[in-house]
Amino acid sequence: MTQKTHILIIEDEPKVVTLLREILNGAGYEISTAFTGENGIERAALDQPDLVILDIRLKESMDGYAVARRLREFSEAPILMLTAKAREEDVLHGFEAGADDYVIKPFSSKELLMRICAILRRSQKSPAQAGNEAEIICGALRIDLARRKVTVNGSEVHLTPTEYNLLHELAVHSNQVLLHEQLLTAVWGAEYQNDVDYLRAYIHTLRQKIEADPNNPQIIQRCPGVGYVLVSKNSPPEA
């Protein structure tokens, strides 16, 4: 018998928890819940869920950002954050803490399930290796394809599954400008191809992790109005 996908809900509003349970149980997911950040961290460690739905504005001692950072210390399970507002600073803060996606309250069941399916698809996706290479080297950046391990100047960089997939897509096309739509479709799926602000937020978090000076990026560079390019000194840029 196929094992159900297990989703942990960390949310302190009972009405929202009830709604999420109805939607997710109806879609065939196995559900567990926690009403505080501390309890959510404990449940995640014990249950090892496939995905975590996490409210940003938890009212207890730990908010959603702090919970996400703690989860990332021991878990690679994708995190879907719930937020009441789509403020850019909230979204960036969430991605920096380790979130993979977000949904704005109030949300529809269709949107929620679409986001969950997309996240699970990305987390299970293993990018194809370029030829028979075991490693991609772009200057100081190294990507070990077999172990999904990323290092910069020899120091390991911890990435979420989505961050890794985005970096991998840029790296296998190093020195080539990739259009916004190309990156969004390749990493997130066709349903995300117009979410340029989404891509911009992820590029921001990647730069924080791999650039010596994120405000003056040398590895991932922007082509205004077009897309992004990962610059490798190993080979000359392509036209």
CATH of domain 135-230: 1.10.10.10
Please report which confidence band the pLDDT of residue 237 belongs to, taking 50, 70 and 90 as the band edges: very low
- pTM of model > 0.85: no
Can you give the pLDDT at residue 221? Answer: 93
- The C-alpha atoms of residue 181 and residue 178 are separated, in whole angstroms, by 8
| Topology annotation, domain 6-124 | Rossmann fold (3.40.50)
Q: Where are the alpha helices (DSSP H) in the chain?
A: 14-26, 37-47, 64-71, 88-97, 109-124, 161-172, 180-187, 196-210
pLDDT in tens, 90-136: 778 888 888 888 898 888 999 999 999 988 887 775 555 444 557 88
pLDDT in tens, 31-66: 999 999 999 999 999 999 999 999 988 887 789 999
- DSSP state string for 14-78: HHHHHHHHHHHHHTT-EEEEESSHHHHHHHHHHH--SEEEEES---SSS-HHHHHHHHTTT----
- The C-alpha atoms of residue 54 and residue 8 are separated, in whole angstroms, by 8
Domain layout of the chain by residue ranges: 6-124, 135-230
* Cα atoms found within 13 Å of the Cα of residue 120, Cβ hemisphere only: 16
Q: Which of 107, 114, 99 is nearest to 27 (CA)?
A: 114
Higher pLDDT, 3 or 109: 109
Domains 6-124 and 135-230 share a fold: no
Which amino acid, 20? Answer: L
- Is the pLDDT at 194 greater than 90? The verdict is no
Can you give the pLDDT at residue 239? Answer: 38
Count CB-CB contacts under 10 A for residue 72: 16
